[in-house]
Amino acid sequence: MATKYATLAEASEAAQRLEFKTQPEYKKGYKQDPKLPANPNQLYAGDWDDWYSFLGTEHPGEKYATVAEASEAAQRLGFEIRDEYNKGYKKDLKLPAAPDKHYAEDWADWPNFLRNERPREKYVTLAEASEVAQRLGFKTRTEYHEGYQKDPKLPSNPQRSYAGEWDDWYSFLGVERPERYAALAEASEAAQRLGFKTQQEYYEDYQKDPKLPGSPNDFYAEDWSSWYNFLGTGRPDGKYATLAEASEAAQRLGFKTSTEYFKGYKQDPKLPRHPPSTSMPKIGMIGTATLALSAPLRGTRRSPRRPKPLNAWG
């Protein structure tokens, strides 16, 4: 199992050395360097910005500021359906490739965006939508997203449409929640048997054991201490003992984003190269008490996770 680059900055530098200019080029050629991951946007999710930044290519010109402007432009080009838009949106450089994501907060649906038909009414309650989704036989979130249009009343994002009632995809699709190790100690022992030495290695291969959760730091939040303890690896010597100390040092050096941090952390030898994501402040939040919390879909416990105190470095 090839060890991947520990930080986004290192992987980005390697990708740029190989002169990849687009995501498809990266996908075709990343194996030239065995330390490059197939999906850097997932592996370095906490630090990821976009492919332009990762590959060091020029960011495209500004996109339309509002969904209304983009919608008007798309209609002028005569797009009637989503496939037509996907094939032809580059005719107008201000149109984004994925307007549903680019304008997520104001997005309704594709018919509304292209104004080619009246938006269909969706199921009013989560229970109704759940019943239909189960009748259609969807067993996973991927299957749902691929087939929900079989019923025009099913929303593309039920977790957003029914946010007040939403629990998780297992409940929505009526499938059994996968069994996980009951205790942190059991999961830790299993992870160490598989030989994982870093958080990245765990994320890439934890599915070799179906009882291991995708994010053990969330699943066993009440008992979690650090990735070092979980994987049975040694904590780096000579580093700041607490998040508060490291955060103060990072602020003194003027870092504002994780990218700046990764480029300049060596100015202080006590700053770790890759602080565990459960303790590192989010991008743009260095200097606040907000911690990077993830919300995985796979097997998380029902109880919400409380942020760790600032002295819980690791």
pLDDT tens digits in sequence order for the chain, 314 residues long? 578 999 999 999 999 999 888 888 898 899 999 999 999 988 888 888 888 888 887 666 678 888 889 999 998 888 888 888 888 888 888 888 889 888 887 888 888 888 765 445 788 899 999 999 999 999 888 889 888 888 888 988 898 888 888 888 888 999 887 888 999 999 999 999 999 988 888 888 887 888 888 889 888 888 888 888 899 987 666 777 677 788 888 888 888 877 788 788 888 888 877 664 433 333 333 443 333 323 333 333 433 333 333 333 43
Question: Is residue 2 within 8 Å of 35, Cβ to Cβ?
Answer: yes
| Cβ neighbours for 224, distance < 8 A, ≥ 6 positions apart | 184, 216, 217, 230, 278
- State residue 274's pLDDT score: 63
How far apart are alpha carbons 205 and 181 in whole angstroms? Answer: 16
- State residue 308's pLDDT score: 36
- State residue 1's pLDDT score: 59
Roughly how many angstroms between the first and final C-alpha of the chain, as a whole number? Answer: 24
Domain ranges of the chain: 8-55, 67-114, 126-173, 180-314
Q: What is the DSSP letter of 204?
A: H
pTM: 0.35
- State residue 120's pLDDT score: 58
Give me the long-range contacts of 290-298 (CB less than 8 A, separation at least 24): 292/46, 293/218, 294/45, 294/46, 294/215, 294/217, 294/218, 295/218, 296/213, 296/214, 296/215, 296/218, 297/141, 297/168, 297/169, 297/214, 298/178, 298/213, 298/214, 298/215
How far apart are alpha carbons 30 and 202 in whole angstroms? Answer: 20
